[in-house]
Chain A
Amino acid sequence: MQHPHRRRRRAAVVAVAFALALTGACSVPAGDEPGSEESGGAQPSASSGTQPGTSLVVAESEPGDLNPGKQITAYDQVMALYTSLTDVATDGTVTMAAADSVTSDDATTWTIKLKDGWTFHNGEPVTSSSYVDAWNATAYGPNAWANSGQLAEIAGYDDLNPESGKPTTDTMSGLAVVDDLTFTVTLSAPDGQFPLQLSQAQTGLFPIPESAFDDLDAYNLQPVGQGPYMMTEPHQENEDITVVAYDDYAGTAPLTESIVFKNYADTSTAYNDVLAGNVDVAGVAPAKIATAMKEFGDHFYANPAPGIAFLGLPLWDERYDDVRVRQAISMAIDRDTINDVIYGGQLEPATAFTPPTEPGTPEGVCGEWCTYDPTKAKQLLEEAGGWSGEMVVTYPGGFGLDELYKAYANQLRQNLGIDEVTTKSTADFAEFAELRADAKLEGPYFSRWGALYPSQQNTLRAFFVPGGGGGCTNCSASQPDEVVDLLEQADGQVDQDAAIALYGQAQEILAEQLPIIPMFYEKYMFVTSDKVSDFPSSQGSPVWSQVAVSS
């Protein structure tokens, strides 16, 4: 009997990694760098004011938690409801959003001044306490809010998250209110990237109004923010979320009057609904790019994102010890052809260890080692003593990655002359993560990272600093000491140019040692209905408040 509930459980899986990576941006452009306070519209489309009667229907997955401290799958909704302190544009420009200035002399103690006149959707003024209280609640261990880790660098975080037992305090020593619009943040170690950490997708750093603490369960269903849009009723599971323009919003007024976030379990259903004109915006799974480009033309968008895909190397296997073997693997893969064939040419072959939307990424640092050259690749492998045994290219199943990893395997087989290259997919991501954590993968493997805040620090830490990303789901199997040292030095710089120079030096070492192979810079892809006349994005994600619709 082929009754549906016995049938393929995994049939509808399209792309969780992809969906999880859809961390968006709600940018409110202003000023030009931390410390300045000039404001002005930077989006090309920013015409004045909200167009009455306009609405936008956006396909999303069921959001789960909405409290910004807890949410992990509701970036788009939450970023429409709040405005971050700072904003980092796709080109890496850092601007002040809700903050008036974020300054420090020593990269350890930071003074944050808020812009005056901002209010929450319930009319409550936004004060420095709105931030301090929110951050303390998010960091408080027993609350177990998912975004707690975003505050881990603040002095006193450890007191709220002791190794065992209950914390003895519920406030971080590093946070101090100076006046209504000013507070100071002391970090446990110097970090010049702090202003970038305050940017649009780090929802754990958003403010929460005082009134919310009376009933946090209610707040989780109807978060009250200070952003361009507000919710008018609590979210009910399975129901769409409608947000409407907040009249007293202190930033750049949103263009569209209301946005409906509609739940879809299956991205191809959402895609079909955009085709039929029932939905205005939907994300596109990588496997569907070619079709989407053909069917949507101008209304297909590929936005450069702060994500990068690597090919991980099982450095616990001594056959990969020789750098020439690693170089050979990298040079045997024709990134351009794979990009054209599988992704319709929409991705970008990677030439550095961080995505270019992160300020100062030294594009091209990987040089010839990231350039396709099958002859040299084969020669390098021979010099290193050739290859013996199997090479099992492993990736998590159910995310539409099969084509990509089969292509890698084919090219390694053909270009390096290794007969025993095979692919293996795990049942799901959890199984893959466990195999990776236990160092049980038997060949080059899936590895990627989407940065929550676009700084080289974020991507490099996730891969090369032990415990830096909070775990080692994706990290490089080798974390050279000199790279760790350089990253620490870079973090200590208040001056962004000095930091960038040091991150660049770290990347040069990585290019020499090639512990992990850069493959593609990621993009977040969308299709829109004809109704959408302008679809600006920041760091890959749509800037919801500045999306323009006709009528």
Chain B
Amino acid sequence: MMRFVVRRLLELVVVFLGVTFLIYAMVFALQGDPIAALAGDRPLPDSVVRVLRARYHLDESLWQQYLRYLGGLLQGDLGTDFTGRPVSERMASRWPTTIVLALTAWLLEVLVGVSLGLWAALRHGRLADRAVLLGTIVVSSIPIFVLGATAQLYLGVRWRVFPVSGTQDGWPMGFLLPAACLAVFGLAAVSRLMRGSVIDAMSSDWVRTLRAKGLSPRRIVGVHVMRNSGIPVLTFLAVDLGYLLGGAIVVEGIFNMPGIGQLLFAAIRAHEGPTVVGVSTVLILIFLVISALVDITNSLLDPRIRRDR
């Protein structure tokens, strides 16, 4: 077991180094000088550009820049953006919004997704099942910016059910609509995953045995089936939390929520290497840690995973 954990953590380090370098290299490779682009189409004087390039080490090679960055990172320093603000500070002011948004969306996925999936599975093959299947396909195939903009126009502007934008209404009203738009895709996946596992379990030998022993259907589903079919769904939900925390660029944009996604988007547009890499690094870390945890937990729950290695 210990070997598995160590191995998994070593993998994490390698992936982390590889991915941060890749992102750094990609931002570096973007065409155009980020300092010259600072002022849009209004050129900055040469002397200003020169000082700023030196100040943010843009005159160094990719390797020098990356190693300097990595050095800072190991000391917990995420660097500064091109106006001198520390990236960690800029992120700190945005985490609350993103975390609340992600958790709200996640909660919706859990509650609605699991219940829908269970409900459909228990009515396997009937109209309700088909309706859930069709509904989730339709909703999750709408591009999120269409969904978000439409929801905002009708529920926000026309019918005034939810605020149009911003977080000033607080939780839950200010977060429900964007969270719902964000949750739609994961929700569809969760419900279908849940449906599939429950159907599998319901037709398994051990459920037949339980039935034969005279257990009530309620107890069979509520205790035994749920526990067994929960593993794939929980795995998915855990990984999905990582994605949700990854910042919902489109949804945060449409609903004007000052979160991590907006920061990342603005930084990409401005070719702001340190911010893009800083934000991505933290997101990658979150994602890697969550998936490592999931793998380790799964291996604890299911010895077969350990043996495969």
State the A residues within 8 Å of B (CB). 1-5, 7-9, 11-13, 16-17, 20, 62, 64-65, 72, 141-146, 148-149, 152, 161-162, 236-238, 262-266, 268-270, 272-273, 275-276, 278, 398, 427-431, 433-434, 448-449, 452, 469-471, 473-474
Separation of A452 and B269 alpha carbons in the complex (Å) = 24
- Other A-B pairs, 17, CB within 8 Å; known A4-B243, A5-B246: A4-B250, A4-B251, A5-B247, A9-B249, A12-B145, A12-B250, A17-B40, A65-B83, A148-B45, A149-B45, A152-B45, A269-B165, A275-B164, A276-B156, A429-B41, A433-B41, A470-B44
CB pair A272–B33 under 8 Å, yes or no, is no
Task: Name the B residues within 8 Å of A269 (CB-CB).
Answer: 152, 164-165, 253-256
Stretch in contact with the other chain, from B16-24, B130-138, B224-232, B258-266: B258-266
The minimal Cβ–Cβ distance linking A218 to chain B, given in whole angstroms, is 14
CB pair A161–B45 under 8 Å, yes or no, is yes
Picked from A7, A72, A276, A278, the residue with its CB within 8 Å of the CB of B40 is: A72
The minimal Cβ–Cβ distance linking B239 to chain A, given in whole angstroms, is 10
Separation of A442 and B153 alpha carbons in the complex (Å) = 41
Closest to A164 in B: B50
Picked from B47, B163, B252, B283, the residue with its CB within 8 Å of the CB of A265 is: B252
Show 12 residue pairs from A and B whose CB-CB distance is below 8 angstroms, ordered by the A residue: A4-B248, A7-B250, A9-B265, A11-B253, A12-B254, A16-B269, A149-B45, A262-B166, A266-B253, A269-B253, A269-B255, A272-B152
If A144-B55, A474-B41 touch, whether A429 touches B253 (CB-CB below 8 Å) is no
Task: Name the B residues within 8 Å of A8 (CB-CB).
Answer: 145, 250
Mostly, the A contact residues are loop
If A20-B40, A264-B256, A433-B37 touch, whether A141 touches B48 (CB-CB below 8 Å) is yes
Separation of A236 and B253 alpha carbons in the complex (Å) = 19
Separation of A182 and B43 alpha carbons in the complex (Å) = 32
Decide yes or no whether B93 CB sits under 8 A from chain A.
yes
Separation of A470 and B39 alpha carbons in the complex (Å) = 12
Task: Name the A residues within 8 Å of B41 (CB-CB).
Answer: 17, 20, 429, 433, 448-449, 473-474
The minimal Cβ–Cβ distance linking B132 to chain A, given in whole angstroms, is 20
Please name the 8 residue pairs, one residue from A and one from B, whose CB atoms are nearest each other, closest first: A430-B32, A471-B43, A161-B47, A20-B40, A12-B253, A144-B51, A470-B43, A431-B31
Closest to B185 in A: A2
Picked from B46, B149, B164, the residue with its CB within 8 Å of the CB of A278 is: B164
Task: Name the B residues within 8 Å of A238 (CB-CB).
Answer: 93-94, 258
The minimal Cβ–Cβ distance linking A248 to chain B, given in whole angstroms, is 32
If A5-B243, A272-B152, A430-B31 touch, whether A141 touches B47 (CB-CB below 8 Å) is yes
CB pair B45–A272 under 8 Å, yes or no, is no
CB pair A272–B261 under 8 Å, yes or no, is no
Task: Name the A residues within 8 Å of B261 (CB-CB).
Answer: 4-5
Task: Name the A residues within 8 Å of B34 (CB-CB).
Answer: 430
Closest to B271 in A: A430
CB pair A237–B157 under 8 Å, yes or no, is no
Decide yes or no whether B177 CB sits under 8 A from chain A.
no
Interface centre among A266, A431, A469 (most CB of B within 10 A): A266
Separation of A276 and B161 alpha carbons in the complex (Å) = 11
Separation of A398 and B255 alpha carbons in the complex (Å) = 20
CB pair B45–A5 under 8 Å, yes or no, is no
Separation of A20 and B39 alpha carbons in the complex (Å) = 8
CB pair B36–A471 under 8 Å, yes or no, is yes
CB within 8 Å of A: which of B1-34?
30-34
Decide yes or no whether B160 CB sits under 8 A from chain A.
yes
Separation of A13 and B47 alpha carbons in the complex (Å) = 31
CB pair B283–A5 under 8 Å, yes or no, is yes
Decide yes or no whether B121 CB sits under 8 A from chain A.
no
The minimal Cβ–Cβ distance linking A539 to chain B, given in whole angstroms, is 16
CB pair B149–A430 under 8 Å, yes or no, is no
Decide yes or no whether B85 CB sits under 8 A from chain A.
yes
Decide yes or no whether B90 CB sits under 8 A from chain A.
yes
Task: Name the A residues within 8 Å of B283 (CB-CB).
Answer: 5
CB pair B42–A72 under 8 Å, yes or no, is yes
Task: Name the B residues within 8 Å of A148 (CB-CB).
Answer: 44-45, 47-48
Q: Mark B122-165, 1 if CB is under 8 A from A, else 0.
A: 00000000000000000010011100010011001100100111
Task: Name the A residues within 8 Å of B220 (CB-CB).
Answer: none
The minimal Cβ–Cβ distance linking A460 to chain B, given in whole angstroms, is 16
Task: Name the B residues within 8 Å of A11 (CB-CB).
Answer: 145, 249-250, 253
Task: Name the B residues within 8 Å of A143 (CB-CB).
Answer: 51
Decide yes or no whether B52 CB sits under 8 A from chain A.
yes
Separation of A264 and B268 alpha carbons in the complex (Å) = 17
CB pair A3–B185 under 8 Å, yes or no, is yes
Interface centre among A64, A144, A149 (most CB of B within 10 A): A144
CB pair B48–A4 under 8 Å, yes or no, is no
CB pair A9–B144 under 8 Å, yes or no, is no
Task: Name the B residues within 8 Å of A452 (CB-CB).
Answer: 42
Separation of A143 and B84 alpha carbons in the complex (Å) = 12
Separation of A298 and B261 alpha carbons in the complex (Å) = 36
Closest to B246 in A: A5
Decide yes or no whether B100 CB sits under 8 A from chain A.
no
Separation of A236 and B258 alpha carbons in the complex (Å) = 12
Closest to B34 in A: A430
If A429-B37, A473-B41 touch, whether A275 touches B243 (CB-CB below 8 Å) is no
Separation of A544 and B111 alpha carbons in the complex (Å) = 48
CB pair A5–B52 under 8 Å, yes or no, is no
CB pair A272–B157 under 8 Å, yes or no, is yes
Decide yes or no whether B38 CB sits under 8 A from chain A.
yes
Decide yes or no whether B114 CB sits under 8 A from chain A.
no
Task: Name the B residues within 8 Å of A146 (CB-CB).
Answer: 38-39, 44, 48
CB pair A431–B32 under 8 Å, yes or no, is yes
Task: Name the B residues within 8 Å of A429 (CB-CB).
Answer: 32, 37, 40-41
The minimal Cβ–Cβ distance linking B90 to chain A, given in whole angstroms, is 6
Task: Name the B residues within 8 Å of A275 (CB-CB).
Answer: 157, 164
Interface centre among A1, A238, A452 (most CB of B within 10 A): A238
Decide yes or no whether B198 CB sits under 8 A from chain A.
no
Q: Mark B152-186, 1 if CB is under 8 A from A, else 0.
A: 11001100100111100000000000000010010
Separation of A141 and B36 alpha carbons in the complex (Å) = 16
Separation of A469 and B261 alpha carbons in the complex (Å) = 35
CB pair B43–A473 under 8 Å, yes or no, is yes
CB pair A237–B93 under 8 Å, yes or no, is yes
Separation of A469 and B41 alpha carbons in the complex (Å) = 10
